[in-house]
Amino acid sequence: MFSIRLINIVFLLSFGLFFLNSCAPFNSVDAKKFPPNPELRVKKNMEEGRGFRLMDGVNKKRGTTYEFASSNELWRASLDTIDFMPLASVNYSGGIIITDWYGNNDSTNENIKISIRFFTNEIRSDALDIKVFKKVCDNSNKCKISETSGELIKELKRKILRQAKIYEVKNKDKNFKPYEPHKLEK
Cβ(133)–Cβ(118) below 8 Å: no
Mean pLDDT (the chain) is 78
CATH 3.30.530 given to domain 72-173: yes
pTM score above 0.85: no
Q: What is the pLDDT of residue 178?
A: 66
Give whichever of 38-47, 126-135, 167-176 has the largest mean pLDDT.
Answer: 126-135
CA distance linking residue 64 with residue 1, whole number of Å: 58
Please check the confidence at residue 64 and state whether its pLDDT lies above 50.
Answer: no
Domain assignments of the chain as residue spans, ordered by start: 72-173
Q: What is the pLDDT of residue 29?
A: 60
Cβ(164)–Cβ(76) below 8 Å: yes
Q: What is the pLDDT of residue 65?
A: 45
Please check the confidence at residue 81 and state whether its pLDDT lies above 90.
Answer: yes
Q: What is the pLDDT of residue 67?
A: 46
Mean pLDDT across the stretch 86-112? Answer: 86
C-alpha distances in Å from residue 76, one per residue of 83, 89, 161, 168, 174: 10, 15, 11, 11, 17
